[in-house]
Structure 1
């Protein structure tokens, strides 16, 4: 039985992970949960899964959650960054599902690794900001980092049984989001509701906007560099509107292996949780006859410059990936708050990156300072 801590339990990944736990109670037990603000859902999760501890955004939320719980349901309730780190390093846990959104996932990830916990990683920003540090620490502590993103899970699955030296190319697929055919001249008029209406996937607000700008694919490109030890120049991004091929791997002999499935995160999540086994998720196979065709094309870098930002960050390395990520988080939140236009997201990220003096080989404090600087700079531009 695997003992789990699920960080970001009320988000789309967290709720799907708990659905897998619910389907296989003989395989998993939840020991710790964290959330930020969705206390009603967290309360229901606590009552169903009875974790030993939970962590929430701040002390006020902790008191509110305590008042919401019925008599007899009394997990230890912690709060803030220290609470999230405690959930990641909880004694009785052996696997941490890192499903928090954004840069907030970095410190809990390091806390989990330091405590020797295996990681089911859905928080791509952890590797974008500090991939060299995180992966080196995981190797030092003999910690397994298993990808939860469907694309990286697909690549991982395709590589199983093959030699790493034979991997020559990664093909990272993207649906193209809701605006893949929208003229660039229409971008300034795109609304919050338009951008959240993803054609294939059901995701949280932040990742939905990142999908619409293709920044999600830029973050995933950097994540793949660190997960698989491959140059970004050997990663090709392909727009695949049907979202059936989750990604592909090309080998030295010219063969290409693809992992396919319906667009549902439960497959990737269950594989990370149950590896090396496969569990019944209740998902059906794609109806290939009804699909008739699977199509691929190159992304439009003029309309969607996010991939160029990510490749620049890969080239320069240092603190630039953290700056790109922080500026994007600020820009996305400003768009969700209706303070800037959709097209302004690209401008804010590129301007912040251009203004940054990159520091090579930063330590963790240098990365955190770059993140702070970028948020302040992007905020001033808004």
Structure 2
């Protein structure tokens, strides 16, 4: 379908991103999946290519591009390529907005410049063994002692947890203040009391390092507070709509990619003397997927437009996130079925996509949490 959201400048940027993926990611994808981690040099290369940190102002080494369509293009092309381990959407869509919005000048000079140069990669640590979607259950604590924060606790399921040079840690700084008792504190690599645990083995996204993190009387400078003390929960909520939209964007692009490959397969694969796509049942399934993907694409593009004009709401993003990730799961399952036995072979992209897709309805807020947000907005 024709998309009217992008200009010729965006088309040029998309071509640049595709070329970067073909040059710097695709040749290494198999090795990275085997190793369970990507080569850190890919972030330096991404920065040099203008694919990382483009939203950072020019005075801090970025390109000063305040246009979410560029974020969407990177998310889409990574989803279409074999790029699940490269955390560019994490850095561009989650970390960069925090650093742009919440830092003081000293922190910008210290962190933004290195992010824009690809010299510093990041993670954000929210989930804990006893607190996933329920952020109010976070137990990792930070107490102020003089010019330091002392952090104690444990985090799990942390994307980029092994490679990260710095981690934004969600801490409880006032146990009596409820949602007003959380703060965001940056813990940098090598800080005493900060240890990385296991690189966790997962069903999919094998090249994406996911880790446990441990903090044992971990002392960091008071100047590493990100944003306002006691406003951590609200800082998280402010960025969640665009984060969830990014997940929806990746979901639709990934589903469209596998669907296009499956259309080709269904035309070329012959059974009982005819292409498998010409059987009425299969033709109907393909027609249904094409229709649902087009409808989802229109809604997601409208949400991108709402980011541009500042009207995207948490409810808009929740609708996009749950619908698109569930559709992605459904489409990939049906495409694998159309591939038959070949779909079960990992040499086919649909098999790898089937492994990777299952997390999409969980990360960033489960489908059930998204529906609860929408339901409450409707007055229930």
Q: TM-score range by the shorter chain?
A: under 0.3
TM-score relative to the length of structure 1: 0.25
Which structure shows the higher helix fraction? 2
Name which one, 1 or 2, has greater alpha-carbon Rg: 2
TM-score relative to the length of structure 2: 0.25
